Chains A and B, each alone.
Chain A
């Protein structure tokens, strides 16, 4: 059974940092691209970032570029999102997602999400 389990969310003050993690199991993690997608309360889905299977290609939404960094550790079957200079508008549930390819494949496997709240 495919499982993606996010962790690291919580309450953080504006301007501070937070690091999210995602532990993967039940599929060949090293063969899949991975993504972060977020959903703010009352809003729709927003794609945040994606990373290829070998970390050679990484993309970011304009809203987080320069502040967020995505990385992965295939040996540990883990995905990470380092979030710096957090803003109140970054408040959202953050989902870890797997797709076969970074650019083209559908977002096939989804985690249950971790809540990030940015507030003073």
Chain B
């Protein structure tokens, strides 16, 4: 049970789009449609922004979108805003009643 692989950092200018990848295996990301993404700001608890690969909870802007191809899931943030800066984590069901997180990606809006 290894952590999912995310790039440690990503950046973009206001208004641009940025995509964060999350690579696992056929035992987690590739095997289930239970991939979720979390946004965390300093000093705050993580907040779910995408679940079941593509679904957005109510209140999450449609600038956030998710997708999956094979063993890699992706989070795309369109029309970047300053408030999007923070840490982003992917998570997947990994079978046997277990979940696994990615290492996290620090998103900077430059």
Q: Which residue of A lies closest to B8 (CB)?
A: A44
- Asked if A22 is at the interface of the complex by the 8 Å CB criterion, the answer is no
Q: Answer yes or no: A35 CB below 8 A from chain B CBs.
A: yes
Does B64 reach chain A (CB closer than 8 Å)?
no
B34 in complex: contacting residue of A45, A57, A104, A112, CB < 8 Å = A104
Our pick among A52, A58, A59, A108 for the contact of B48 (Cβ within 8 Å) is A108
A108 to B50, CA, bound (A): 11
Q: How many residues on chain B are close to A (CB under 8 Å)?
A: 25
Chain B neighbourhood of A111, CB < 8 A: 45
User: Is A11 in contact with chain B by the CB < 8 A criterion?
Assistant: no
State the Cβ distance, A113 to closest chain B Cβ, in Å: 8
Q: Kindly state the separation between the CA atoms of A96 and B52 in the bound complex, as whole angstroms.
A: 21
Binary interface encoding of chain A residues 30-56 relative to chain B, with 1 for a CB under 8 A from any of its CBs, else 0: 000001010000001111001010000
Contact A50 B52 (CB under 8 A): no
Q: Decide if B59 is an interface residue (CB 8 Å cutoff).
A: no
Question: How many angstroms between the C-alpha atoms of A45 and B93 in the bound complex?
Answer: 15
Could you mark each residue 98-119 of chain A with 1 if its beta carbon is under 8 Å from any beta carbon of chain B, else 0?
0000111111101110000000
- On chain B, the residues within 8 Å of A47 by CB distance are 91, 98-101
| B47-68 CB contacts (< 8 Å) to partner A | 48, 51-52, 57
- Residue of A whose beta carbon sits closest to that of B40: A45
Taking CB atoms, residues of chain A closer than 8 Å to B87 are 44
Query: Which of B89-110 touch A at CB < 8 Å?
Result: 89, 91, 93, 96-104
Contact yes or no, B89 A44, CB < 8 A: yes
Contact of A95 with B by CB under 8 A: yes
Given contacts A47-B91, A111-B45, A112-B45, contact A103 B34 (CB under 8 A): yes
A61 to B91, CA, bound (A): 13
A62 in the interface (beta carbon within 8 A): yes
Which residues of A approach B to under 8 Å, CB–CB? 35, 37, 44-47, 50, 52, 57-62, 95, 102-108, 110-112
A-binding residues in B (CB < 8 A): 1, 3, 32, 34, 36, 38, 45-46, 48, 51-52, 57, 87, 89, 91, 93, 96-104
